[in-house]
């Protein structure tokens, strides 16, 4: 037979309480942008699919224009660099 373990006579110490913040905690709920809540009649008439398609088209056109500007800037810089190399 195995000997019995001695009884634990010490009481566990409860964890210290966390300090309470002096400021109000930030809400973790959803934030509503009120400018989005004020839609014009045309936007309100769109279906969800129509709205998403319109937003995608707008963002696509903006990205395309930005990329075309960057390509033009690159080609201009490349042309200038070619000119500098040619003068060497």
pLDDT computed for residue 36 by the predictor: 62
Q: What is the pLDDT of residue 38?
A: 78
User: Model pTM greater than 0.85?
Assistant: no
Encode the chain (88 residues) as per-residue pLDDT tens digits. Answer: 566 677 666 766 667 776 666 666 566 776 766 666 677 888 889 999 999 999 999 999 999 999 999 999 999 999 999 999 999 8
Question: End-to-end alpha-carbon separation of the chain, Å?
Answer: 98
What DSSP string runs through the chain? -PPPPPP--SPPPPPPPPPPPSSPPPP-SPP--HHHHS--HHHHHS-HHHHHHHHHHHHHHHHHHHHHHHHHHHHHHHHHHHHHHHH-
Spans of all domains in the chain: 42-87
């Amino acid at each position: 037979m195995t000997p019995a373990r001695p009884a634990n006579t010490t009481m566990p110490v409860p964890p210290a309480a966390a300090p309470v913040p002096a400021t109000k905690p930030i809400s973790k709920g959803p934030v509503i942008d009120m400018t989005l809540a004020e839609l014009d009649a045309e936007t309100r008439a769109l279906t969800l699919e129509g709205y998403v398609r319109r937003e995608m088209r707008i963002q696509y056109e903006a990205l395309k224009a930005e990329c075309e500007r960057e390509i033009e800037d690159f080609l201009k810089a490349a042309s200038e660099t070619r000119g500098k190399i040619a003068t060497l």
